[in-house]
Amino acid sequence: MDLATFLVQCLNAVQYGLLLFLVASGLTLIFGIMGVINLAHGSFYMIGAYMAFVLAPWFGDWYLTKLLAGVILAAVFGYLLEWAFFSYLYQRDHLQQVLMTYALILVFEELRSLTVGNDVHGVQAPTWLAGGFKLGELMSYPWYRVFASVACIVLAVALYWVVNRTKLGMMIRAGASNRDMVRGLGIDIQRLYRIVFAGGVALAALAGMIAAPLSSVYPNMGGSVLIICFVVVVIGGIGSITGALIASLLVGFVDTFGKVFFAEFSGIGVYLLMAIILIWKPEGLMKQHGR
């Protein structure tokens, strides 16, 4: 493999990892803070991707505006969904949460089928991001992929800043390690949960919107993302955003280079990685105390 190809694969791995991180961070936050295992998290990614497709004719090249609109819609949707459905899951045991959120996936998939149909759709990258820059003599790396990576990095930094430097973030971190104490401090835990949930949904949907031009939009796209996200959360440790970042990048590299070196067996590479981590550090790379 020559240097240019290697660089391209590295960039692909990072970009894939960063997108995964957006989805996984939402999942790990929701689980870490509310203690709910949410199988439908992949559906939010799917909803985001389909939003990108549906909103495309209205926004055209106003890409960032479209993303913003999508995020707002997703956050509102998440807020309402928490209020109407998820808030009832907190008291239930894991098995019931699994089944309820699994049922939610079925509902979302069918609603998608009823509203937008079952066809596979492509989504165009905006024209100002078309084309790519040259890497070596033969390869060119698409600007859109660069944009995707940069967007994810910006969001990751924003997420880090919110969680570590704001009052909301402090409440989130407190809620992750001691729910009852937070309630005792008079913080409106219900609203906190709703905000965190809406944030998680928005992150996943945004990831879907950004990914849409790269992977196109198709039924059941949520399912595969979800399971990979589970692997990321297991490797990185529940509730840990830093762990999710490291794990996402690891998964990105294993998956991308796996495809290059192991062809048909590439799909299982990620799971083998998980198996190795389980043997070595069963609590995940970054264990959270008190969980």
Partner 1 sequence: MGAEHAATSASRFGRLVPLLGLAVLAALPAVLTPYTQDLVLKIAVFAIFALSLELLVGTTGLVSLGHAAFFGIGAYAAVLFTGGVGSLPAALAWLAGDGGAAPLLKLLALSVGFAALYALFVGALSLRTTGVYFIMVTLAFAQMAYFVFHDTKVGGGSDGIFLYAKPVLEIGGTTLIDLDRKSHFYYFTLGALAFTYGVLALVNRSRLGHALAGIRVNEQRMRAAGFRTYGYKLAAFVIAGALAGLAGFLVGVKDGAVNPELLSWHESGAVLLMIILGGIGSLRGAVLGAVAFTLLKELFQSEALLGPLAGHWQLTLGLTIIAFVALLPKGLIGLKQRLAGASHG
Stretch that binds partner 1, among 13-21, 49-57, 89-97, 179-187 (CB under 8 A): 89-97
In the bound state with partner 1, the residue whose beta carbon lies nearer, of 36 and 51, is: 36
Angle ∠(176,181,187) on CA atoms, nearest 5? 85
Please, what is the minimum distance in Å from the beta carbon of residue 107 to partner 1? 4
Residue among 111 and 153 whose Cβ is closer to partner 1: 111
* Position 191 contacts partner 1 (CB under 8 A): no
- Pick one of 95, 117, 119, 180: the residue that binds partner 1 (CB under 8 A): 95
Residue placing its CB nearer to partner 1 in the complex, 33 or 209: 33
* Amino acid type, 104: L
Of the two residues 99 and 150, which places its CB atom closer to partner 1 in the complex?
99
Is there binding between residue 98 and partner 1 (CB under 8 A)? yes
Contact positions with partner 1 (CB under 8 A) in 23-62: 31, 37
Q: Is 113 in the site for partner 1 (CB under 8 A)?
A: yes
According to CB under 8 A, which one of 1, 58, 60, 102 is a site residue for partner 1? 102
Q: Judged by CB under 8 A, which of 231, 241, 246, 285 binds partner 1?
A: 231
Asked if 223 touches partner 1 (CB under 8 A), the answer is yes
Does residue 233 touch partner 1 according to CB under 8 A? yes
Question: Which range in 17-25, 140-148, 156-164, 278-286 contacts partner 1 by CB under 8 A?
Answer: 278-286
In the window 238-277, what residues touch partner 1 (CB under 8 A)?
Answer: 238, 264-268, 271-272, 274-275
Look up tokens 């796209």; give the residue: 221
Q: 241: which residues sit within 8 A by CB, 6+ positions away? A: 25, 28, 29, 159, 160, 163
Binding to partner 1 by residue 94, rule CB under 8 A?
A: yes
Least distance to partner 1, CB of residue 70, Å? 24
Cα separation, 42 vs 47, in Å, equals 9
Given 68, 72, 96, 140, the residue binding partner 1 (CB under 8 A): 96
Rounded Cα gap, residues 189 and 99, in angstroms: 25
3-state secondary structure the chain: CCHHHHHHHHHHHHHHHHHHHHHHHHHHHHHHHHCCCCCCHHHHHHHHHHHHHHHHHHHCCCHHHHHHHHHHHHHHHHHHHHHHCHHHCCCCCHHHHHHHHHHHHHHHHHHHHHHHCCCCECCCCCHHHCCEEEECCCEEEEHHHHHHHHHHHHHHHHHHHHHHHCHHHHHHHHHHHCHHHHHHCCCCHHHHHHHHHHHHHHHHHHHHHHHHHHHCECCCHHHHHHHHHHHHHHHHCCCCHHHHHHHHHHHHHHHHHHHHHHHHHHHHHHHHHHHHHHHHCCCCCCCCCCC
Nearer Cβ to partner 1 (126/252): 252
99 binds partner 1 (CB under 8 A): yes
**Residues of this chain that bind partner 1 (CB under 8 A):** 31, 37, 88, 92, 94-96, 98-100, 102-107, 109-111, 113-114, 223, 227, 230-231, 233-234, 238, 264-268, 271-272, 274-275, 278-279, 282-284
